[in-house]
Amino acid sequence: MTNAKGRFGIHGGQYIPETLMNAVIELETAYDHYKNDPEFNRELNELFCAYAGRPSRLYFAEKMTKDLGGARIYLKREDLNHTGSHKINNVLGQALLAKKMGKTRLIAETGAGQHGVATATAAALMDMECVVFMGEEDTVRQALNVYRMRLLGAAVVPVKTGTATLKDAVSEAMREWTSRISDTHYCLGSVMGPHPFPTIVRDFQAVISREIKEQLMEKEGKLPDAVLACVGGGSNSIGSFYHFIEDKDVRLIGCEAAGRGIDTFETAATVNTGRPGIFHGMKSYFCQDQYGQIAPVYSISAGLDYPGVGPEHAWLHDIGRAEYVPVTDEEAVCAFEYLSRTEGIIPAIESAHAVFHAMKLAPTMKPEQVIVITISGRGDKDCAAIARYRGEDIHE
Amino acid sequence: MSKIASAFRHGKAFIPFITCGDPDLETTEDVVLAAVENGADLIELGIPFSDPTAEGPVIQAANLRALTLNGGVTTDEIFAMVRRLRRKVEIPLVFMTYANVVFSYGAERFIWTCQDIGIDGLILPDIPFEEKEEFQPLCSKYGVDLVSFIAPTSENRISMIAREAEGFLYVVSSLGVTGVRSEIRTDIAAMARLVRQNTDIPFAVGFGISTPEQAREMARVADGVIVGSAIIRILEEYGKDAPEYVGAYVKKMKEAIR
């Protein structure tokens, strides 16, 4: 009997139809080869630096630090990357890998549209065909990103099934992959799905924590006391945590979307409200009912509106290495407005979840302590929706 | 000897798939009885799942109807229906559902209940060979066959899967998800030869089959034919009146492959 692969404690695995098994095995074999290939890494690094604008800045938020009074706050500016979010890190890695594997077509799911835009961008750059699946609800919430993807040459397929949000987009992308494998790579956008995706995506996003470590050592001569990032599937957070996992004194805090509150049904805080399950190719925590039916989750943030969480996060939670805290819509919107006014930085509403928790945490810490918040993306895409949340009648 | 083997003793087996609770469990019960009367050899009872990632639009919609109409059905209500059916139905019955439905119920409690109510096998499209340890030991313990899949992409995996297969082997006719197809291009005969070299258990072909001609074609090389979406379409069209029409359809299909 073979052992199931890609486990993080009890989580992870490869719970997918037989039709896809050789595809994920082929992907794993290719990745194992190229991840240590100097030429592949040189090309990827070149794309990161010359195209995506890495390394991203680690910015000392002096006004915020003074205003909150407590720990020194740094912002890891993934919002300054090309395409406006951390998603480009993973996409450039996967697109390059797919190209090396001889694939000519990329498919992807997207929630807020950030991953879809990043995938469409990489496809344009590398001359690949691109199809993005997006929940119909999200195509309305994020209409501008739909146009962006089309402008970049991608086809956008609105997904009408289920709750017509991110989970349904993932399901539809998986269905598409089972029907067309030989020329197609499924460019999964988060640290989720069947092995080897959680590992591949984490490795490509780990550049975030590698840079934080170097940059903070230069600025402060020490490790951070806490690293905060928002968690939906969990790619920017695992990227921000990864190189600190062994540094036990660094608190790792994932900020989940609580929606209207974790005591309501309108929440997407998986670690806080879910229980173990098997879905979308992995064992992990999922929001579900007593019979295992996946719950229709809710968050103001389309990018965090997902009923599961990556298996490595589930494991970090199980062993107590990372903490996962819920942040409501209202709290995230407050932080969205606060960072805009205080530092002149409009964060993605996803990232604002992490900003809010930092606003609570910083005043409880000492002035010599350091917090790093990953600003996973820029907030321009959210302005109209937040304005409407505040009662202003603005449409894109 | 698995009870499932008995389904393959009356010529080529015809295996209908029915989503439990679409549109309600009384109809499901009547549809099963109509299928049995008209020559079905084994029945796949689908326990609906909110996000059936291996299904095409027809069966996705059936899952949604089953989970929402009249408050929706639950796993426990389906177990109770099977208990009632077992007083009248002798042919093998298997459940087809997704891993989370079993895992979340408590795998041991679920599989023990299968044995208790007379379910002979379990089909889980999101449990490939590499993950069957999740449920295989419990299935063996309670005498429930865990059915394995072979797909057109399985190639070098066929012998490994076939050697450990039990009950029957589910051969997926084409790439993609479930649903009616006008044409099946996969070389099923070549897959059949590889299967035969590695196991004696029967194999049935499913995905995309709807017409008697397609079924006859498949039955030339396979031991059985599985039909899902075409039957669900009848349920979609006729609702509570579907049993009579499903019965007529099953009769026509069984005659085509007999």
Distance CA B212, CA B250 (A): 10
Out of B100, B129, B177, whose CB is closest to A279?
A: B100
Residue A352: predicted pLDDT: 98
Q: What angle do CA A126, A234, A363 make, to 5 degrees?
A: 125
pLDDT tier for residue A2 given thresholds of 50, 70 and 90 = very low
**Residues of chain B with C-beta less than 8 angstroms from the C-beta of A17:** 53-54, 125-126, 128, 149, 151, 172
Out of B100, B101, B175, whose CB is closest to A178?
A: B175
- What average pLDDT does range A70-76 have in this prediction? 98
- What average pLDDT does range B248-256 have in this prediction? 98
Residue B1: predicted pLDDT: 58
The H or E element containing residue A267 is none
pLDDT tier for residue A179 given thresholds of 50, 70 and 90 = very high
Is there a contact between B222 and B188 (Cβ–Cβ < 8 Å)? yes
Residue B35: predicted pLDDT: 98
Q: Which ipTM score applies to this complex?
A: 0.96
Distance CA A116, CA A172 (A): 14
Residue A163: predicted pLDDT: 82
Question: Among A69-83, A89-103, B177-191, whose mean pLDDT is lowest?
Answer: B177-191
Structure confidence by residue, pLDDT tens digits, B31-81: 999 999 999 999 999 999 999 999 999 999 999 999 998 889 999 999 999
The closest of A153, A149, A108, A150 to A132, measured between CA atoms, is A108
Is the pLDDT at A3 greater than 60, yes or no? no
Residue A165: predicted pLDDT: 85
- What average pLDDT does range A72-77 have in this prediction? 98
Using CB atoms and an 8 Å cut-off, which of residues 141-200 of chain B contact chain A? 148-157, 161, 172, 175-177
Structure confidence by residue, pLDDT tens digits, A14-57: 999 999 999 999 999 999 999 999 999 999 999 999 999 999 99
Is the pLDDT at A164 greater than 90, yes or no? no
Is the pLDDT at A332 greater than 90, yes or no? yes
Residue A4: predicted pLDDT: 56
- The DSSP letter of residue A222 is S
- What average pLDDT does range A213-218 have in this prediction? 98
A283 CA: distance to closest CA in chain B (Å)? 9
- What average pLDDT does range B90-105 have in this prediction? 98
pLDDT tier for residue B258 given thresholds of 50, 70 and 90 = confident
Mean pLDDT of chain A: 96
Distance CA A372, CA A212 (A): 8
Using CB atoms and an 8 Å cut-off, which of residues 28-67 of chain B contact chain A? 49-51, 53-54, 56-57, 60, 64, 67
Residue A396: predicted pLDDT: 64
B222 CA: distance to closest CA in chain A (Å)? 19
